[in-house]
Amino acid sequence: MEILTAENVSKEFSNHKALDAFSISIPQQSIFGLLGPNGAGKTTFIRIINQILNPDTGKIFLNGERLRPKHIASIGYLPEERGLYKKMKVGEQALYLAQLKGITKKDATEKLKDWFRKFDILPWWNRKVEELSKGMQQKIQFVVTVLHNPKLLIFDEPFSGFDPINVNILKDEILKLREEGATIIFSTHNMSSVEELCDNIVLIDNAKKILEGRVDDLKMEFKSDVYELILKGSGTRLKGILPDAYEMISVQAINGLKEVRVKLPAGSSPNELLQTLIPEFEIHSFHEILPSMNDIFIEQVNKNKTKYKAG
């Protein structure tokens, strides 16, 4: 079941295409990574979902219904460029933003107090925002985003401005939100957190979708048959034994053992490699190296760039 579907969404700003026939579908109760270099069109897409912008063409469906103003209440959005009224009191401000999302004042007060207690910011309720540290302000923004229990949450670079401890608290909260049934669109340049959190991703470059899929599937798809071996013996001897078709990528010494990365020739199986080595070496470990999301990101964007230039 998809919570959000986009069909051929395009948006143009004075002769510059921000989104070009962009289509995706986001499965319910998943964490969906929206990736891409700066200026690729991610923010435009996010703003279209939030109905801040209207697409020129194309359709967006939320839970099978055409996106309409009433859906604002079921979306929570934490923008990349975010701030608060500096002169306003913390509690007052959080209440105001919550009420704008359509929660009653009474409900909002109760829920806010719970969240503030959880994040250790309750004592700041009556202080002005300008007296707070940046991290605390970020916590308040996070709370305000999730307060109305939205079915769809959109986080644009949610971890910027947080220290590592708070990043972990936040990650836990995000995972908890998914367990409780929310779907999360997660836009970031931090690829390690993508690997950690995301179930699916879409990669946008130059207003177009260039890659899409489950994180695990993509890693399998883009693996380049590199295996890592830990063995006893010398590297030069290994080189002598291995047929030329095998490419040795790196050799590192670890505690008297060697950690070697080998790329298999096309069409050969890892078993063949093991059969060659077992008679000669004592093997401690053998496993496949999958590409990181970071590698995939860079490779795909660069590939797209050359294609774009050539085309």
In the complex with another protein, which residue's Cβ is closer, 54 or 252?
54
In the complex with another protein, which residue's Cβ is closer, 20 or 56?
56
Are 241 and 275 within 8 A, CB to CB?
A: no
In the complex, which residues of this chain contact another protein (CB under 8 A)?
Answer: 13-14, 47, 50, 52, 54, 56, 69, 72, 75, 77-79, 81-88, 96-97, 99-102, 141, 144
Q: How far is the CB of 11 from another protein (least distance, A)?
A: 10
Task: Give which of 1, 21, 149 is closest to 64, Cα–Cα.
Answer: 1
Q: How far is the CB of 287 from another protein (least distance, A)?
A: 45
Q: How far is the CB of 89 from another protein (least distance, A)?
A: 10
Q: How far is the CB of 154 from another protein (least distance, A)?
A: 9
Q: How far is the CB of 286 from another protein (least distance, A)?
A: 50
Which residue do the tokens 């999958």 mark?
290
Q: How far is the CB of 152 from another protein (least distance, A)?
A: 12
CA angle 259, 261, 265 (to 5 degrees): 150
In the complex with another protein, which residue's Cβ is closer, 145 or 200?
145
Give the C-alpha separation, 79 to 235, whole Å. 51
Which positions ≥6 away from 86 have C-beta within 8 Å? 128, 129, 130
Give the C-alpha separation, 296 to 259, whole Å. 23
In the complex with another protein, which residue's Cβ is closer, 111 or 258?
111
Structure tokens at 10: 């395009």
Name the packing angle between helices 134-146 and 90-100 (round to 10°).
30
In the complex with another protein, which residue's Cβ is closer, 3 or 78?
78
Task: Give which of 274, 269, 266 is closest to 229, Cα–Cα.
Answer: 274
In the complex with another protein, which residue's Cβ is closer, 140 or 203?
140
Please give the sequence-ordered ranges of beta strands (E in DSSP) within 63-104, or none if there are none: 65-66, 75-78
Which residue do the tokens 């990181």 mark?
292
Q: How far is the CB of 210 from another protein (least distance, A)?
A: 25
Task: Give which of 273, 191, 281 is closest to 226, Cα–Cα.
Answer: 273
In the complex with another protein, which residue's Cβ is closer, 100 or 278?
100
Structure tokens at 152: 């769809």
